[in-house]
Amino acid sequence: MPEREENTEVAGMNVLNGNGRLLEIKDLIKYYRRGRKLITALDSVSLHVDRGEAVGLVGESGCGKSTLARLVLGLGPPDRGSILFDAADMLSLRGEALRRKRKGIQIVFQDCGSVLNPRLTVGAAITEPIANFNPPDSVCLDKKLKYLFEMVGLEKSLADRFPHQLSGGQRQRVGIARALAPEPFMLVCDEPVSSLDVSVQSQIIDLFLELKKGLKLSYLFISHDLAVVNQICDRVAVMYLGRLAEVMPVTELVSGAMHPYTQALVSAIPANNPEKRGFPCLQLRGEVLPVVERRGCLFAPRCVEAQSCCYETVPCLVEISPGHSVACHNIKEKTKTS
Amino acid sequence: MANYIINRLLQLIPVLVGVSLITFFILNLAPGDPAELMVRASGMEPTPEAVASMREELGLNYPLHVRYCLWVWHALHGDLGVSYHSGLPVARELALRFPATLQLALASSLFMILLALPAGLLSAFYNRSYIDHLSRFAALLGASMPGYWLGLILIYIFGVRLGLLPVMGSGTIKHLLLPAMTLGFGLAAVYARLLRASLLEVMGQDYIKAARARGLRERRIMLAYAFKNALLPVVTAFGMSLGHLLGGMVVVETIFSWPGVGRLSVEAIFARDYPVLQGYVLVMALVFVVVNLLVDLSYVLLNPRLRIGGGEKR
Amino acid sequence: MDDAILRVENIKIDFPGKNSTVRAVNGVSFAIKAGETLGIIGESGSGKSVTALALLGLLEKPGRVLEGRIIYKGRDVLLLSRKEKQRLRGREMAMVFQDPLTSLNPVLTVGRQLTDVLRRHLELNRHQTRERALRLLQSVGLGNHEGIMKSFPFQLSGGMRQRVMLALALGANPSLLIADEPTTALDVTVQAQIIRELHRLQQEKGMAMLVITHNWGVVAELADRVGVMYNGRLVEYGSIVDIFNHPAHPYTHLILSSVPVLGKGRKGIINIHSPVSRVTLNGCSFAPRCMLKGKHCLKAPLSAEISPGHFVACHLAGIDSAIAVERRRELA
């Protein structure tokens, strides 16, 4: 892992103010209008990511994780709530100040092949963001490109190739290099390994881990695969139909999940051994269906432990142990009895 | 659904206003003095006095915007003015000719459908076989042939040589056949190709592969599974064609002396007959928008997604 | 005699292109018995989906089967006429596809698509057909079967659509069900439900099942026997216990150990970069990525039975091979 360059010019523009929380999301609400219906994509979501921390965002279709990622990146305003990045209110910034803050947070997509401009060589695609923010001269650019290639484990000779000439894994590395080009503090990764073959997936996971350690990067890591989140992230936030169900350290996933939905997700993971087959612990009813009335706990219709109060009142996200918050009425009962 | 229709009909207003405004002002930029033409048309000598008095009579001395507002006012009452050329009310002139154009448009469309649908289906079904090549060649021929040429050929064959069909005027179904065939064949050529392309694209879709995997017969797949899906782009294109047809196909109308609206408009252009032109453009804009609305509504029959609230239930 | 419902013998499938021909499947053989599930696992480009399509005679032009036999219930499918092949599809062999949204006709109701299949294969009157359709939907776990009959695919959720696909496939009671990535496009909890459903349906009907996937979890849950495909060849083939507990081929080893497991940390995986080459070498096609690679790998390895029912195509798989023992000791 090459040393992080001390480029004073760049450093001057990207100074990390404050300490501790790099990203702070408070009570984020986002609606979408579809015809006559108003769909709540995000319902008072609060989350934070510290410097050098990786937070996984897990949930099924309609949970709002993609919407959250988009709002965090500034691709659309929320209807309510605040987003603080690097101690600055992202929603009130405009123009040049916004651009400079935006450098600090970049995105890695699921299928980098379709995101890369097919007409640009891979080298040009990677240096495009640098040229956009603070164009140095060509010598500096070339040095930077070499540095980035090294960082993601690609051969420099590939810089003149086009995306379609590379393998899936290589394209994903290019996508990561491009995200790293403006020297961000945080990467928003939207299912970055889901479309890769298993053998390549493990290499890219390794890369993410190395980058996190070496560059002190933070991640907002969206994935449907809990096992992948387990490998890369420190904490995981489980979402269901726009609300947070549980936020917890990743180490507690296997046996410490408290929310019935998280438990269901964990139990739904197929066995890695034929002796453990059959989903013995899966307890779930039906499927994710969009709700008309957002009353009470949205998971109640599918929950095997649902009681009458679950349909009436919305459960709040409550911290039951350090770093572990759950939004479920039954938890209080459990913690009381245990 | 009702809201949708009302919305679309309300869209008519800005369209009509825009169209009539533009036409009005452009027409007035065209050279030629309608007053002079009118004087000539009525058989008198275009002396400066006669022309001046005619100008007064026609109200051409008012400023442009005033003339426009007056015209709009009258139009809203159904009075589209009086033709400079014939002296008859414009609305009446159009009303006299429009049914004939409508007849021709519908007959041509029918002819087109009868030709294009089987041709497109067969072409796609027997893709790359000799039937396909034959039909594609015929389509290419039809699309490249100028309408008037085909018209004259048909007149020669059916009218002169075989003496089967009348070649001029209107009145009976027999009179309708030749012009409808002329227009229909050209259209059929275009639509057969479009349908074929659309069908081939649909046949490459996953759900067709899945239907095959279930053992369904190829013919059934083409007719019941692929056809409906393939019609969608064809219907859109047809909406535009229908609009044009209803605007009157000048060339065909001229060759067959068909008393349609197209010929009227061209004659009006040459005669600088502003009222007729204004009226024609306005009516045609109206027709176009309504036809497109009907086409869009027909989508609903084809695409159930629009019928039922729309949007996925995920 | 042979109790295998399906026996595939040395299938080779080519895709002739303008400049070169791609050998998508290069000598694959396997067999499935009634009531048994074979899982074929492989990554993209391994040729697994192409094999499945060939079984049903649905290979898209210009693909063609060059060599080999596909013996279904004693008859070679490749020798059948087009009409006979059509009759087999749906009736004897059925397929469930990956993406249920694109695999269902968007402009026809579910009921219509279902009755079409039933009417094609079964001699029933209209009333009987409808009754059977309703019962079918119920049997795949769809509660509101009346309502679903009238629905269009876009009105249903992903899981419901996949169940509809199952119903469509099972309509005429086929003896072999081929599932091509049946869970990939679905949410995690729905995946679990569909896997359970597949298992249950198979037990109930006693049919043979061929599951094609890149997901080891699906294989672990469903398969009795496993075939590992790499670049058009079946590099390992055996019972599920053998494959999971004693993987003999280096590729099997590689992908098994690459799967992230909840609760287990990262092992030190050697970072081997995969080359972008579709060239079919004369030797072992996995050699460029193989940790055990040696001179002997220039020759294509043949499939050898290293223990009853466990076949591996690797020179070093034989227990007697001294080099193998030595190299494996290096790796452990």
Instruction: Decide if B234 contacts B198 (C-beta within 8 A).
Output: yes
Q: Are residues C73 and C206 in the same domain?
A: yes
Instruction: Mark whether C87 and C187 lie in a shared domain.
Output: yes
What length is written for chain C?
A: 332
A187 DSSP β-pair partners: A106, A219
Cβ–Cβ gap C188/A289 under 8 Å: no
How far apart are the CA of C23 and the nearest CA of chain B, in angstroms?
22
Nearest residue of C to residue B232, measured between CA atoms: C107
Both tokens of A47, joined, read 């989350």
Q: What's chain A's Rg over C-alpha atoms? A: 21
Residues C22 and C155 in one domain: no
* Contact between residue B182 and residue B150 where contact means Cβ atoms under 8 Å apart: yes
Residue A7 is predicted with a pLDDT of: 39
Contact residues, chain B, for A37 at CB < 8 Å? 311
Q: Which of A200, A272, A289 sits opposite C216 (nearest CB)?
A: A272
Q: CB of C114 within 8 A of CB of C167?
A: yes
Phi, psi of A289 (to 5 degrees): -125, 140
Residues of B in contact with C103 (CB under 8 A): 206-207, 209-210
Q: Answer yes or no: do B313 and A62 touch at CB < 8 A.
A: no
Is the CB of C108 less than 8 angstroms away from the CB of B206? no
Contact A161, C276 (CB under 8 A): no
The residue among C111, C146, C173 that closes a domain is C173
CA closest to B310 among chain A residues:
A35
Cβ distance B210 to C58 less than 8 Å, yes or no, reads no
Evaluate whether residue C307 is within a structural domain.
Answer: no
**C179 and C70 in a common domain:** yes
Mutate to test the interface with C, among A197, A226, A236 (most CBs of C within 10 A): A197
State the DSSP code for A181.
Answer: T
Q: Which of C120, C145, C173 is the last residue of a domain?
A: C173
Number of domains chain C is built from: 2
Answer whether A278 sits within 8 Å of C221, measured CB to CB: yes
Question: Is residue C331 assigned to a domain?
Answer: no
Distance from CA of A273 to the nearest CA of B (A): 31
Q: Is C144 on the interface with B (CB under 8 A)?
A: no
Mean pLDDT of chain A: 84
CB of C211 within 8 A of CB of C217? no
Domain that includes residue C13, residue range: 1-92+175-265
Which value, to the nearest 10 degrees, does the dihedral of the CA atoms of residues B46, B48, B50, B56 take?
Answer: 130
Partner residue facing C94 (CB), from B207, B214, B218: B214
Q: What is the pLDDT of residues B211-269, one digit of tens each?
A: 999 888 888 888 888 998 898 889 888 888 888 888 778 888 888 888 888 888 888 88
Give percent above pLDDT 90 in chain C: 27
Residue ranges for chain A with pLDDT beneath 50: 1, 3-15, 336-338
Residue B207 burial (CB count, 10 A): 25
Contact between C189 and A231 using a beta-carbon 8 Å cutoff: no
| C169 and C179 assigned to the same domain | no
Residue A104 CB partners (closer than 8 Å, separation 6+): A14, A16, A85, A86, A184, A185, A186
Do the Cβ atoms of A238 and C188 come closer than 8 Å? no
Contact A290 B313 (CB under 8 A): yes
Is C246 in contact with C39 (CB distance < 8 Å)?
no
Question: What is the C-alpha separation between C183 and A276, in angstroms, rounded?
Answer: 19
Chain A, nearest residue to C277 by Cα: A167
Q: Is B178 left (phi over 0), alpha (psi -120 to 50) or beta?
A: alpha
Q: Spell out which residues of chain A touch residue B311, defining contact as CB-CB under 8 Å.
A: 34-35, 37
- pLDDT the model gives residue A20: 66
Which alpha helices (DSSP H) does chain A contain, by range? 8-13, 65-72, 95-102, 112-115, 122-133, 138-152, 168-180, 198-215, 226-232, 253-256, 260-267, 308-312, 329-337
Q: How far is CA A204 from the centre of its chain?
A: 16
Same domain, yes or no: C15 and C121: no
User: Per-residue confidence at B80, pLDDT binned at 50, 70, 90?
Assistant: confident
Q: Domain of C73: which CATH number? A: 3.40.50.300
- The residue that leads in pLDDT, C293 or A6, is C293
Looking from the CA of C225 toward its CB, the CA atoms found within 13 Å total: 21
Nearest to C195 among A203, A253, A270 (CB): A270
The tokens for A80 are: 């309510």
**Token output for A68:** 């959250």
* C84/C185 same-domain check: yes
pLDDT for residue A48: 92
Task: Answer yes or no: do B303 and C165 touch at CB < 8 A.
Answer: no
**Distance (Å) from the alpha carbon of A118 to chain B's nearest alpha carbon:** 24
* Whether CATH 1.10.1370.30 fits B98-307: no
A200 CA: distance to closest CA in chain B (Å): 28
Nearest CA in chain C to A225: C188
Residues C18 and C164 in one domain: no
Among B40-44, C305-309, C327-331, whose mean pLDDT is lowest?
C327-331
- H/E run at residue C86: helix C82-88
Min Cα–Cα distance to chain C from A13, Å:
35
- ipTM confidence: 0.82
With beta carbons less than 8 A apart as the criterion, state whether A313 and A296 touch.
Answer: yes
pLDDT tens, residue by residue, B51-78: 888 777 777 777 778 888 887 887 788 7
| Contact (CB<8Å) B310/A35 | yes
> C265, C292, C322: which is the final residue of a domain?
C265
- Is C188's CB within 8 Å of A169's CB? no
Judgement on whether residues C37 and C107 belong to the same structural domain of the protein: no
Q: Which residue has the tokens 């408070």?
A: A26
Residues of chain B with C-beta less than 8 angstroms from the C-beta of A62 = 314
Decide if A203 and C269 are in contact by the 8 Å CB cutoff: yes
To the nearest whole number, what is the mean pLDDT of chain C?
84
Specify the 3-state DSSP secondary structure of A194: coil
Domain residues of chain B, as ranges? 2-90, 98-307
Chain B interface includes C72 (CB < 8 A) = no
According to DSSP, residue C98 is labeled S
SS3 A84: strand
Q: List A residues 143-162 in contact with C (Cβ-Cβ < 8 A).
A: 153
pLDDT exceeds 60 at position B309: no
Residues C158 and C199 in one domain: no
> Residue C175 in contact with residue C89, Cβ under 8 Å?
no
- Is residue C332 in a domain? no
Residues B308, C58: C-beta atoms closer than 8 Å: no
CA distance A126 to A167: 17
C192, A282: Cβ pair inside 8 Å?
yes
The pLDDT value recorded for residue A168 is 84
> Is B272 in contact with B34 (CB distance < 8 Å)?
yes
Domains and CATH numbers, chain A: 8-240 (3.40.50.300)
Q: Which helix (H) or strand (E) holds C54?
A: helix C48-55
H, E, C per residue of chain B: CHHHHHHHHHHHHHHHHHHHHHHHHHHHHCCCCHHHHHHHHCCCCCCHHHHHHHHHHHCCCCCHHHHHHHHHHHHHCCCCCECCCCCCEHHHHHHHHHHHHHHHHHHHHHHHHHHHHHHHHHHHHCCCCHHHHHHHHHHHHHHHCCHHHHHHHHHHHHHHHCCCCCCCCCCCHHHHHHHHHHHHHHHHHHHHHHHHHHHHHHHCCHHHHHHHHCCCCHHHHHHHHHHHHHHHHHHHHHHHHHHHHHCCCHHHHHHCCCCCHHHHHHHHHHCCCHHHHHHHHHHHHHHHHHHHHHHHHHHHHHCHHHHCCCCCCC
Chains touching C (at least 3 CB pairs under 8 A) are: A, B
Is position C4 within any domain? Answer: yes
A35 CB neighbours in chain B (<8 A) are 309-311
Average confidence score pLDDT of chain B:
83
Both C37 and C152 in one domain: the answer is no
Residue of A nearest to C223 (CA): A274
My answer on whether C193 and C136 are in the same domain is: no
Selected for mutation to probe chain B from C154, C175, C177 (highest B CB count within 10 Å) is C154
Cα→Cα distances A150→A172, A210, A232, B186, C54, Å: 14, 12, 21, 63, 43
C6: three-class secondary structure by DSSP:
strand
pTM for the whole structure: 0.81
Distance between CA atoms of C227 and C48, rounded to whole angstroms? 10
Could you identify the residue written with the tokens 């790998």?
Answer: C297
Query: Considering the domain boundaries, does residue C294 fall inside one?
Result: no
Q: In the predicted model, what is the mean pLDDT of residues B175-194?
A: 89
With an 8 Å Cβ cutoff, is C238 touching chain B? Answer: no
